Every structure is written in C-alpha cells, then in structure tokens.
Structure 1
C-alpha cells in the first residue's frame, strides 16, 4: 500500500477512535446541476473549508447569479465560521465555480490538484486561449500534490489523486470524511463518465479501487446525484463500505477489464454536459469570469464542430 493512502487511513482511524475531532459537514444541493457542495468545519476552532461551490448560470439567457453561493455565505456567517480553504475536487464541466465569488466574500485559500495544468493545456488549446492564458495553475492559490497534508483548524486532512473522470481529480480526506468529487456516485448509480477530454476509464477504475482501500466506516460525500432508477429522492452521502459492497459499476469482484468495457459502453450513450463549454473556460481559470471588454460586457467563446 502506498504511503499517501496509509496516511489517509490513519486520519480516518484516529478520528473514528476519538483521537481527532470529527468534522461537521453541511451540504448544499443544486438541483439545476445535480451538484452537492459542502462546508466542512472544526467544531471547536470553527475553521472551515468550502468544497465545490456552484455559481448559478442560466444557459439560454447567459445570465449568472450568486444565489447558491449566498446560501453558503449565510451559513458561514450564522455559524461564526472562519473560511480557511476553498477546495475544488476537479475542474467541473457541469457548473461554473463560485470559488472566486466566495473568496471575495468570506476569504480562504483556493486550491485544486496539481494536474489542473494538464486540464488547462487541453482546454486552453480547445478554446484557443492564446499565450496570455497561463497553463501553469497560477490562477489558483495552491496546487496539491498526492498525499499532501493540510489542516482545517486542528482537523488533519490528506489529498489523494483520483484521476480518470478528468486528469485533475482529487479526493479530500478530512477527519473521517472523504470528498471524492466525480469518481464515485451513490452505489445504485455507479461511477462518473470518462469520455470527456482527458478522461480515462482505466485510470478511473484504479482511482476508485484506491479509494475503496480506505476504512469501510469512512463517510463518503459525493459531488453529484441524478437519482438512480427506482429511487425517488436525491442522495449524496454514503460510506466506503457501502460502495465496496454494492456499487453497480465498481463493487468488489468487478475486474478492470469489465469496468472499462461497461463504462465505455455507457459513456457512448451519454449527451455532453449542458454547460461544458461555458463551465470549462471559466473553471480552467479557477472560476474567473472573462474580463470586461471595451463595451462593458463579458463574453464566453463557443467553438464550433469541436467536441
């Protein structure tokens, strides 16, 4: 077992044993994009992290608003929390990030996995961003390496690389809780797609199996839910053990070859995310909106016949 994973396991075990404080997790679900965002905090110091926040965007009108982000601000203020981190699990293709807006409102260090540079290269070229668009991750305040440790108040945290859905996917282990981004979904729904630029089904399988080496009792918080057939309510929290036993795509006993074949076949039936072109050119810039042009307006670029 690799050392990064061993250290993540230690944090979960120590938290479950009461040797570290258990984080408080508050979720915010955006039904328009089926996205779960989170505020995680230390109950003693009230230090907090915000994970995967959503900026509301209406595609037909090209108007954005901060309603979802303001709900997070209201919660942080009502609980007296101090924002230390703004964490992205990956560069999202289904929603625009509200991280810069929230950073201006409540502070915090904006961070993502170091492989965001690969995503910036892919989508920088797709949008013909030119040399003025830095592809070195410098739009973010911090780039995490695999296994890197950080803290929220006094709660120990570890970063685990989890590529496959995108090259830059990471999972955050925070106390006994794991925020896995777009790797795993609820056991009855399965796993994330791998057919978008930079995705890789074999990488995703290996990332998932790595995460499933974490203790069964670890709480697992997901980035999305789409309600599996036969389920009437949204859900975005489960456990590592539940995924190992019952995940319809990646439970124990499913081989890499079986997963890749099934995942590839399913991906071929999926439509592109509705906001991929709008979201990626914003999120590759750490959520920064395009600059105001000479007429006082902002513009997004839409490449034709490209993806």
Structure 2
C-alpha cells in the first residue's frame, strides 16, 4: 500500500487543521478543509492561509486534483472555491463533499434566504457512502461519519483517516452535536467506526484546541491512542454515558463565533453571497421593551 505524503497545516485563529495529501509517485494531490480567513470586526475576507497551501503545492510541484470538504463547517469559511479558481489554469481541481450536503443546504438556504440557483451544482462531486476515487495512485475511500453534522464524511487514504470534526485529539475529546441534524447517538456510532480501523492507523482531526498542559497543536493520534485515552469516548464508554454527557455539555455552549458567515459561504462551496452581504439573524428577539418593533 502506497503511503501518502501528508502536510498538516494548522490555522490558529479557528483552531483548524487543513491537509495537503500527495501521491509520492505522481505528485497528484488533494487538499482537505482549506480555510478562507475572515475578520468579523471589519467584515473582511483574506487569503493568507489559503495562499500558504498554494505555497506548499508550488514548492513540491504537486498537481492538485481534488479540494475535499468533510462537512459544512460552522466555525470557518471554506477556501475551496478560491483555490479552485487559482488552480484552474494548471490542474483544474474538482471539489467534493458527502452527498448529504444537499440536506444541509436546504436547511440553511431557507434560514439565510439563499436562492437555489446559488446552490445548484456548486460541488463537482457529491460522494456516495464508501465511494472510492484515486489521487494519482492513491486510493481514497469516503466514509460517512454523522453526528457532528448529518453530511459529515471522513477520507480514508492509506493508513490515514482524515475524520474532520468526528473526533478530536484524546485530551480534547469530541465535537458538539447540537447543530441541525446533529445527533450524539450517531456520533457515538461514528466513533466506533473509527475505532474499528487497525490500531496503528492515524486519525487526523479537523481541529485541535490544546488544553493548558499542552501548548502545541497536534494533527493526529493513532486508533490505539484514541481507544485508550480519548477523554469522552475511550473504549469502555457506553453509549448512554456519552450521549448524556454530550447533550448536557452542548446545552450550555454558545454558538461558534463565525457560525452565520461560515454556513452562508460553505453551503455555496466557498462562494461569497452574490450581493456581498451576510444575513445575521437576531437571536430570538421578537419585541424590545415590551413593544413589537
């Protein structure tokens, strides 16, 4: 089995791990979960992080074939469309995401007033469960990992699972399940799917939030390390224990800082709203001072 070259790239503002994965023989590559920088105080977008990914590609002579998303992120904007446009003259990479993104698009299109014409065909591939495709001579397999979001998938490439937000590092634990379509029971079973992989396989996470006793971010832990030490879901944790804890924890969490901007961009495959404006809904406000405004 050919081992891929893996470049983990950490984006510290949102705690996101992005990955450049390459076939060492053909230098064909894929980029997973790229970040488009957004400054909410000024409502501005920039491409410093995405350009660093292009730097890795150029430095190593990679030919990017795919821009892959694990799910519709609610904490950062996707740079997939930007990278696709920057690379279209050289390699014309295709974008891909799990097929249930259609469900997520429908949920949030009505919430944010996104027209269907802005969603039709924005992703080149809507992956089927267990679908395989080639990155050069590497075989990649799409694995449905619902729970954090209903559309969530992981990419199994060689002995490496890029699991997005399905599982974090052992000392961080697991992702929230309170977004529309999220489900703690499903996440529990998705983690069992990850734990069914051979113990030496690496599980690369979509985020790291190093706790106080660990300063540096880490991209992966092995299956065995997760089974033994994951603070929320190690082997022996029952479904009932995890679900009760996860639901209690999620009930007191605030919404992600970039929730509304991220979803409006990411269901469009990294495209900005056509009118250049984000919809920011009021949080349950129906009246002010006893008066309906």
How does the TM-score come out when normalised to structure 2? Answer: 0.93
State how 1:268-287 maps to structure 2 within 5 Å: 268-287=251-270
SS of residue matched to 2:191: helix
Q: Distance in 2 between matches of 1:281 and 1:65?
A: 17
Asked if 1 retains the 8 angstrom alpha-carbon contact of 2:210 and 2:217, the reply is yes
Asked if 2 retains the 8 angstrom alpha-carbon contact of 1:99 and 1:110, the reply is yes
Q: Distance in 1 between matches of 2:7 and 2:247?
A: 34
Q: Distance in 1 between matches of 2:5 and 2:284?
A: 43
Aligned: 1:244 with 2:260 = no
How far did residue 74 of structure 1 move? 0.8
> What do the CA deviations read for 1:232-280 (whole angstroms, capped 9, x no partner)?
2221211111111111111111111111001111112322110000000
Equivalence for 1:5: none
Structure 1: 5+ residue stretches without partners: 1-19
SS of residue matched to 2:255: coil
Q: Distance in 2 between matches of 1:229 and 1:265?
A: 23
> What do the CA deviations read for 1:14-38 (whole angstroms, capped 9, x no partner)?
xxxxxx2100000111100000001
Asked if 1 retains the 8 angstrom alpha-carbon contact of 2:109 and 2:116, the reply is no
How far did residue 229 of structure 1 move? 3.9
Q: Distance in 2 between matches of 1:104 and 1:141?
A: 13
State how 1:6-17 maps to structure 2 within 5 Å: none
Equivalence for 1:219: 202
Residue in structure 2 matching 1:90, options 61, 71, 76: 71
SS of residue matched to 1:119: helix
Aligned: 1:299 with 2:265 = no
Residue in structure 2 matching 1:125, options 106, 110, 123: 110
Structure 2: 5+ residue stretches without partners: 286-293
Asked if 2 retains the 8 angstrom alpha-carbon contact of 1:124 and 1:133, the reply is no
Residue in structure 2 matching 1:183, options 141, 166, 183: 166
Moved over 4 A (4+): none
Asked if 1 retains the 8 angstrom alpha-carbon contact of 2:168 and 2:208, the reply is yes
Equivalence for 1:6: none
Q: Give the direction of change, closer, same or farther, for the CA distance of 1:233–1:50 in structure 2 (3 Å limit).
A: same
Equivalence for 2:290: none
> What do the CA deviations read for 1:213-245 (whole angstroms, capped 9, x no partner)?
011111111100111242222212111111111
SS of residue matched to 2:243: helix
Q: Distance in 2 between matches of 1:277 and 1:45?
A: 39
Give the count of matched residue pairs: 281
Equivalence for 1:162: 145
State how 1:1-307 maps to structure 2 within 5 Å: 20-106=1-87, 107-134=92-119, 138-291=121-274, 293=275, 298-305=276-283
Q: Distance in 2 between matches of 1:300 and 1:260?
A: 34
How does the TM-score come out when normalised to structure 1? Answer: 0.89
